[in-house]
Every structure is written in C-alpha cells, then in structure tokens.
Amino acid sequence: MFKALAKALAQLGDTPIQKTIFQTLIVAMIVFIILWSAIGYGLTNTSLFTIGWLEDIIDIMGGLAVLVITWMLFPGVISATMGFFLDTIARAVEAKHYPHLEPAVGVSTAEAIFSSIKFIAILVVLNIFMLLFLIVPPVFPFVFYGVNGYLLGREYFELVALRRMSPAQAKELRLKNKRKILIFGILIALLLSIPLINLLTPIIATAAMLHMFESFRNEA
C-alpha cells in the first residue's frame, strides 16, 4: 500500500497528471461551494431530522453545522466526481509502469454518472445517520473514518477494477483483498479531511489504487 502511494506521489509531476490536478482543483472548489450552499439551504429551510432534540442542536449550531456537514460529505462527493477523470490518470500510470497492458475497455459516461449518483446517495444517507454519534465524541471519529473508509476504498477499487474486468470478477477480487482496501480507504478518508491536501488526494488515491489493483491481480 505505501509503495503504491509512493509511486503515485512520484508521478504527480507528469504532464497528464498535472493537467488533471488543475481540473480537479476547479471541480473541488465548485463541489465545495455547491455543498456549502445546498446544506445551508437545507438546514435553514427544511426539517431533516425527525428527532426533535437533534433538530434543535443543528439549529443552534447554525453556521458551524453547515461547516461540519460540508466537511463530512466533501470527501465522498469529490471522490465520486473523479470517475470523470479516471481514464486520464489511469492511462498515465499504465503508460509509465505497465506499458505491456492492452488498452482498457473503460467505463462509459452513463455508467460513470450512474455510479457517482448511487455512491453520493449512499454517502449522504450514511453520513446523516452518523451525525447521531456526535453526542458521543470519543466514538464519532472511529465511526466516521470506518464507514467512509469502507465506502471510499470500495469506490476507488471499483473505479479502477471495472476498467479491466466484469463486475463479478471485480467483486471477487475486492472480497479477497477487503482488509487492504478498507485500510487504504481509511487512510484516504483521513487525507481527504485535511484542508489543501484533500485537493490532491483523489488523484493520488486513484493512481495508488491502480498499483494496488495490479498487485492484487498478480497475486490472484
């Protein structure tokens, strides 16, 4: 895993990767603004929680609640958008480290959009549920990074794996390596929660996961 991350970091200077970094920075800023605005509107104009006291806490927190929820959702949402940049990153990594591979079939735009929408929907529901754990501060970080680590690890693995194998094959390979993928996902969730570093994390995570995927295939 750490070797894969080191390889990903070393390739950040490549021209195709740098172009994608620029595009990702723009997307990240847009995503953050949309999230901030949508969550602020939602908390102000709707009743998101059926538990009265939880709704009262959210109302009292006001702007802080908007910031907290935006911070919670940002990692997954920005990662979901990486499906549209995946091939550029993957091709650059494969050209440098795996030139013997045949061109990948890739994922269609429609599939990428559907996958992103599904992932974001699951992410939003689970993160709203996890707000309940805010009343137990010592437990919350473990729940937050555990759940998001699982989601992110799975998302990045499937983004990479489905370029070269069927969903059934990808699922089988993922289950064989679920612990490594979970640990990787938790690490990515941690990096995505750090301001500025989180802007580069999706690119690093995609490149690193491709290295891990090829390692998993060789071990299979």
**From residue 194, how far is each of 11, 149, 165, 198, 200 by CA, in Å?**
21, 15, 33, 6, 11
Contact (Cβ atoms closer than 8 angstroms) between residue 146 and residue 186: yes
Q: How far apart are CA 205 and CA 138, in angstroms?
A: 28
Residue 54 confidence (pLDDT): 55
Residue 210 confidence (pLDDT): 94
To which H or E segment does residue 206 belong? helix 197-219
Residue 213 confidence (pLDDT): 95
Helix (H, G, I), strand (E, B) or coil at 85: coil
Q: How far apart are CA 195 and CA 199, in angstroms?
A: 8
Residue 196 confidence (pLDDT): 75
Q: How high is the mean pLDDT in each 10-residue block of the chain (220 residues)?
A: 86 83 77 74 59 55 64 67 75 90 73 70 74 75 87 88 87 93 92 79 90 88
Contact (Cβ atoms closer than 8 angstroms) between residue 174 and residue 162: no
Contact (Cβ atoms closer than 8 angstroms) between residue 192 and residue 155: no
Contact (Cβ atoms closer than 8 angstroms) between residue 42 and residue 36: no
Residue 55 confidence (pLDDT): 56
Residue 66 confidence (pLDDT): 67
pTM here is 0.76
